[in-house]
Amino acid sequence: MIDKKIAAYIEQHTTDEDELMYAINRQTQLTTYYPRMLSGKVQGKFLEMISFMIKPKYVLEIGTFTGYSALALAKGLQPDGKLITLEVNEEMESMLRKNFALSPEASKIELIIGDAIEIIPQLKNNFDLIFIDADKEQYADYYQMAFEKLKPGGFILIDNVLWSGKVIKPAAATEKETAGIVSLNKLVAEDPRVEQVMLSVRDGLLLVRKLPVN
């Protein structure tokens, strides 16, 4: 989506990862089948900055992968804050728990293994910030369910909303994942309960604010 030289320039002018984030990045590149799923340095730093700006007490992440984005978001939590992260792939659990244990924010992170569609309705917290980066075919469902758990004035961040540019290619709309993202983007754009801005960070991020109730 972005010229390689521009991407390199952006990387050069973004604060470097700390040792743990760098190690997880390398671990992901070397040991997983789809390392592109990792947020990476630039997007990870953006998530961290958003968290520091909002200073959330409760964060929900839908889709953990190797834990990189969870750790970025956890950095801005209030001292008594909590991040709940949901991961459907039980094979990732051991790696995730090891990665989280190395973080100063370890005590603030709760990992739940299972299907987010089943878990979200059971969550008791009202969240200040929710990050969605999971099964693209179910994006619209995640959004609707997450919205009900979001505080008025709270924010939802959704990853991969540009999907390598496929969202503007009619032929690609027949692909289930692309169709799921197109459906989500349309749903949010037409939702009178929110305002939103789509950002060209990495593969596209959609930042959504739930309007306060009048």
Containing structural domain, residue 62: 4-210
Tokens of 91: 């094979």
Cβ(111)–Cβ(64) under 8 Å? Answer: yes
**Per-residue confidence in pLDDT tens, the chain, 214 aa:** 788 899 999 999 999 999 999 999 999 999 888 887 888 999 999 999 999 999 999 999 999 999 999 999 999 999 999 999 999 999 999 999 999 999 999 999 999 999 999 999 999 989 999 999 999 999 999 999 999 999 999 999 999 999 999 999 987 778 999 999 999 999 999 999 999 999 999 999 999 999 998 6
Is residue 44 classed exposed, middle or buried when 0-12, 13-18 and 19+ CB atoms within 10 A define those classes? buried
Picking from 71, 80, 118, the residue whose alpha carbon sits closest to that of residue 99 is: 71
CA-to-CA distance for 118 and 61, rounded, in angstroms?
14
For residue 134, the domain's CATH number is 3.40.50.150
Number of domains in the chain: 1
The pTM score is 0.95
- Please provide the DSSP assignment of 134-185 as one string: S-GGGHHHHHHHHHHTEEEEEEEEEE-SSGGGGGG-GGGGGSHHHHHHHHHH
What is the C-alpha to C-alpha distance for residues 102 and 113, in angstroms, rounded to an integer? 19
